[in-house]
Amino acid sequence: MTHARRADVDFFADISCPWCYVGWEALKRAAAERTNLCVNLNWRTFLLNPDMPAEGYERGAYLAAKFPDRARLEAIHEALAAAARDVGAPLAFDRTTRTPSTVNAHRLILWAAGQGRAEAAVDALFAAMFAEGQDIGDAAVLRDIAEAIGLDADLVGELLASDADRAAIAARHNAATRLGVTGVPVVIINQKAVLMGAETPEAYGGALDQCVTPVA
């Protein structure tokens, strides 16, 4: 099918952010429903915890420190679960035992992007974190994800053991903060519309419809 319109979408997010997971799925659904629209979806790096140690933190302790009010945390989880159900995004908080450093996950997305596999990497990382409860800060988990999406797992393992592109991830995070991004997800469509926080497919779809660019 020949697309008559185009939308360039920048999605600022972190893999450890459940609202980013929900927003990602909602945005993809909105794009898929618009068969006459060519959506160029760009993952933009943001680190929610740039100072997180490489080994991450035990999930329960991390959440207890961040949300000392247990009732508030339960309310957030209920809202997340409802939003996730609406977009068909499985959530299994009971299986998640660690809050990871996501630097290596962002590096994997960067390498996958070089082979046209960025979206596949993001999908697999979100699923591993939130549907399967895996530790995406673990190099072995990332190596398995790389293999599953068609990357050279041995090469990815070697890269993860090095400092390759760590500076690039830091630079991308800093670029996002200079744009004014302080929390995620943030979606920018064709440099016209800015949507902050996870939205519904309908909200993303409406913004896409209003900001499309005709293709010559």
Per-residue confidence (pLDDT) for residue 212, from 0 to 100: 82
Q: What is the pLDDT of residues 6-41, one digit of tens each?
A: 999 999 999 999 999 999 999 999 999 999 999 999
Going from the C-alpha of 115 to that of each of 119, 137, 146, 161, the distances in angstroms are 11, 22, 12, 20
Q: What is the pLDDT of residues 98-112, one digit of tens each?
A: 999 999 999 999 999
Per-residue confidence (pLDDT) for residue 81, from 0 to 100: 95
Residue 214 pLDDT greater than 90, yes or no: no
- Residue range 180-199: mean pLDDT, rounded: 97
Q: Residue ranges of the domains in the chain?
A: 5-214
Provide CB contacts within 8 A for 56, sequence distance 6+.
98, 99, 100, 101, 135, 137
Q: Is the distance from CB of 28 to CB of 199 less than 8 angstroms?
A: no
Going from the C-alpha of 133 to that of each of 4, 46, 90, 148, 210, the distances in angstroms are 41, 21, 11, 17, 37
CATH 3.40.50.1110 corresponds to the domain 5-214 = no
String of DSSP letters for 42-97? EEEE--S-TT--TT-EEHHHHHHHH---HHHHHHHHHHHHHHHHHHT----GGG--
- Residue range 158-173: mean pLDDT, rounded: 98
Report strand pairing: 193-196 vs 186-189: antiparallel
Residue 213 pLDDT greater than 80, yes or no: no
- Kindly report which listed range (85-94, 114-123, 155-164, 206-215) carries the lowest average pLDDT score: 206-215
The C-alpha atoms of residue 208 and residue 9 are separated, in whole angstroms, by 9
Provide CB contacts within 8 A for 104, sequence distance 6+.
136, 137, 139, 142, 160
Residue 194 pLDDT greater than 70, yes or no: yes
Half-sphere exposure of 80 (CA within 13 A, CB side): 16
- Residue range 153-182: mean pLDDT, rounded: 98
- pLDDT band per the 50, 70, 90 thresholds, residue 5: confident
The answer to whether the pTM exceeds 0.85 is: yes
Per-residue confidence (pLDDT) for residue 11, from 0 to 100: 98
Looking up tokens 């929610």 gives 48
- Kindly report which listed range (18-27, 31-40, 139-148, 166-175) carries the lowest average pLDDT score: 31-40
Per-residue confidence (pLDDT) for residue 117, from 0 to 100: 98
